[in-house]
Structure formats: structure tokens, C-alpha cells
Chain A
């Protein structure tokens, strides 16, 4: 079935270092969404990317959607301890049932 692959599975950084997580789909996506899940919490929506090549920024977070609408990335500049959590991408398929397909998630831990 349709899969959205996300890497890395885990990332540990020193506070102040940058962090990037990548998602790749085998098929073209209608849009891609990013979520953050804090330990013990539920996923919280961060952003949605719709257009080919789109780039959006939220403070220290930069989100990109590839030209072919098959891949995406989330980059955090100068991580802070509040960035700890698991980041999920979720792709909305163009064809078939209207549902989100979640990547495996990248768990970010930060050494203060």
C-alpha cells in the first residue's frame, strides 16, 4: 500500500544545533502536513504544504515541499529544549480514499 517514508527515526542534538527530518512518498501527494507530538500528548498540527516547491516558515521552523510533490522536509534552526518531541509528516493522496498517510515519525531529543 501507499507509504510515506520518514527519516531519521531518531535524532539527538545539542541545544542550539540544527535538526532536519525528511519525508518521501512513492506517489505524488495532494498535500503534505506536519505534526508534532510531545511525549504523552497527541499530535498537533503544525502546517500544510500544497504547492509544488512551496516553502513556509514558522519562526525557527522551515518546511519545504518538493517540486514533484513527493518529498518534504522540516528544518529547525538552533533547537531549544521546547522542540523535544516526535515530528510526523502526513501525506494526503491525490487518488483514492481521502485519508492521511503518516510517516513513521522522527523522535527528537535535545541535550541542554
Chain B
């Protein structure tokens, strides 16, 4: 399986600011999924990012709030913009070359104060 490096692992941020989360993979992957996991909850897909095209966002998530970059097949970023306490969650990247199984980054535990 691919080695996935997600940074930062955790952060405490002031409301109104933005945080960019990075996901680096040691091999080329077709798709990059970004999930949010609120405390004690399941994983909710935010968006799917393919290289060279705009990310596809799920219902309830918009590009202005969660801009995503995918400059190449090994790297992606998710930005949480204009944060509020409701954005406090774990954010997970999940790179994939297919749909046989999902691998996840270690997660970014975000607390907005």
C-alpha cells in the first residue's frame, strides 16, 4: 500500500482564519478523496479531486469554503476557509488508484476556537 503523509496532524485555529491541509503520497494515484469526520461520527465525503480538473463537491460542501488543489498525481491540499467552531473535525485524505480498498492519511484534528 502507498505511504501517505498528511500534515498537520492537529491544529488549533482562531475563528475566521483558514487552514491548509496537505496530503502527500509516495506513488501516483488517480483520485484523491477528502473526508470530514466530526467527533464520534462517521466519515462524510467532502469532495473528489482529480488532477487537472476541478474537484467535485458533495452536497453541503462548496468550493469557496473548502478549496482543493491537485497539482499532480501525488499531492493534494484541502483548505478550510473562514473557520468557525462548527468546522472542528478530523479531516482525512484518501488517495486511490481504484476502488478495491481505501487508504487514509493519518488525519488532521482541527479545533476552532
Q: Which residues of chain A have a CB within 8 Å of any CB of chain B?
A: 1, 30-31, 33, 35, 41-45, 48, 88, 90, 92, 97-100, 102-105, 107
Contact = CB atoms under 8 A, between A and B. Distances in A.
Interface in B21-48: 33, 40-45, 48
Interface residues of B, number: 20
Interface stretch (B11-19, B77-85, B98-106): B98-106
A45 B101 CA distance: 7
B103 A45 contact: yes
Given A98-B99, A104-B41, A42 B48 contact: no
6 contacts: A42-B92, A42-B107, A45-B102, A88-B42, A104-B42, A105-B41
Contact of B48 (A35, A48, A97, A104): A97
Contact of A43 (B40, B56, B102): B102
A44 B102 CA distance: 8
A102 to B, nearest CB: 5
Contacts of A35: 102
Contacts of B53: none
A33 B107 contact: no
A92 B99 contact: yes
Contacts of B102: 33, 35, 43, 45, 90, 100
